[in-house]
Amino acid sequence: MSKTTTRKQARRRARIDKRTDPDLQRVIARVLAEAIPLLPRLALTTPPHDVADALLDGRTHDAVPSTQPAHAQPTLAEFERLDHTLTTRGWQFCGRCSGPDALTWHYLPSRHETTSDLSHATTTITVINHTAATVSGSDVELIPAGCAWIDGYWSTSVATLLTNLDQVEQHRAGDDPNTLPFYACRPHAHA
């Protein structure tokens, strides 16, 4: 190794000074100061607290785009009836897992201690919005208690779910989910 000479130290200091040139720092600061106000503001979002809040995505009914209000109110009313039916039977709406395109409920009486981080502690249903002309025809993804999302899910419609809700609610961890009258689906590609 060569010795650090005064000349080498001077060249190194010059390179460092060039990188930290005060004029350059001022230019960068000015550019950032001009650009930051132009960036879109990301509002801190809280999860929706109910079905209407999730479907409207934080908007009021009056703020729904002008082509949709006539369709939005009946759809909203149908989903609120579904929510009322489920919550009176012990299901809990999950705002954290819901949004304008999907609504999720957990069946709390099916709760059990899980042995894996992947398996669901409760039976979970997710109603996929906008998959049918009516809410009763919308797709439902069901993950029974004790099953993992990576194992797949069971699919049906809202109408079939409501018809077989007693059977779904009786299902517990360890029961064979293939006995449920739904179509078993493969895991999602990203799971």
pLDDT tens-place string over residues 113-163: 766 665 677 788 888 876 566 677 788 888 888 777 666 788 888 888 999
Q: In whole angstroms, what is the distance from residue 146 CA to residue 113 CA?
A: 9
Mind listing the pLDDT tens digit for each residue in 52-82?
A: 888 877 666 665 554 556 666 777 888 899 9
Does 188 have pLDDT greater than 50? no
List the end-to-end C-alpha distance of the chain, in Å, as a whole number. Answer: 53
Our measurement of the distance from residue 171's CA atom to the centroid of its chain's CA atoms, rounded to an integer in Å, reads 25
Q: In whole angstroms, what is the distance from residue 72 CA to residue 17 CA?
A: 62
Q: Which of 27, 181, 165, 34 is nearest to 109 (CA)?
A: 165
Alpha helices (H) in the chain, listed in sequence order: 6-19, 22-35, 51-56, 69-88, 158-163, 165-170
The pTM assigned to this predicted structure is 0.66
Helix, strand, coil proportions of the chain in percent (round to 5)? 45, 15, 40
Say which residue, 103 or 71, is predicted with more confidence: 103
